[in-house]
Amino acid sequence: SQQGEEDPQALSIQEGENATMNCSYKTSINNLQWYRQNSGRGLVHLILIRSNEREKHSGRLRVTLDTSKKSSSLLITASRAADTASYFCATDWGLNKLVFGAGTILRVKS
């Protein structure tokens, strides 16, 4: 499969806790992106990290990239019920298209 792999497949946490999702991929990339999908809706772009970057922040989101391990993690701090969604990583291999992972389903309980 060309897809990246994400783990866990599903994550359930209490409001206020941090959520960490991981993404692994198979080949060298230009950048890695994270998207969110609310149930039955389209995806929304969250953050992009380039291959020469190691960490990036956006609000309550923190993304790390380890190109030697071909992996990335998305941390959502102080989670809220509204963060309940599916989260996908997508990799740009330089082929003018993105390859999406299978996603992590996050449930934040209030």
Partner 1 sequence: DGGITQSPKYLFRKEGQNVTLSCEQNLNHDAMYWYRQDPGQGLRLIYYSQIVNDFQKGDIAEGYSVSREKKESFPLTVTSAQKNPTAFYLCASGQGVDEQFFGPGTRLTVL
* Contact residues: partner 1, CB under 8 A: 2-3, 31, 33, 35, 40-45, 48, 88, 90, 92, 96-103
Do the beta carbons of residue 73 and residue 63 sit within 8 Å? yes
Cβ at position 56, least distance to partner 1 in Å:
13
Residue 83 per-residue DSSP state: G
Measured from the CB atom, the residue of 19 and 32 that comes closer to partner 1 is 32
46 is written with which tokens?
Answer: 């969250």
Measured from the CB atom, the residue of 76 and 90 that comes closer to partner 1 is 90
CA-to-CA distance for 84 and 60, rounded, in angstroms? 14
79 is written with which tokens?
Answer: 């989670």
Cβ at position 85, least distance to partner 1 in Å:
13
CA-to-CA distance for 12 and 51, rounded, in angstroms? 30
Cβ at position 80, least distance to partner 1 in Å:
21
Measured from the CB atom, the residue of 15 and 47 that comes closer to partner 1 is 47
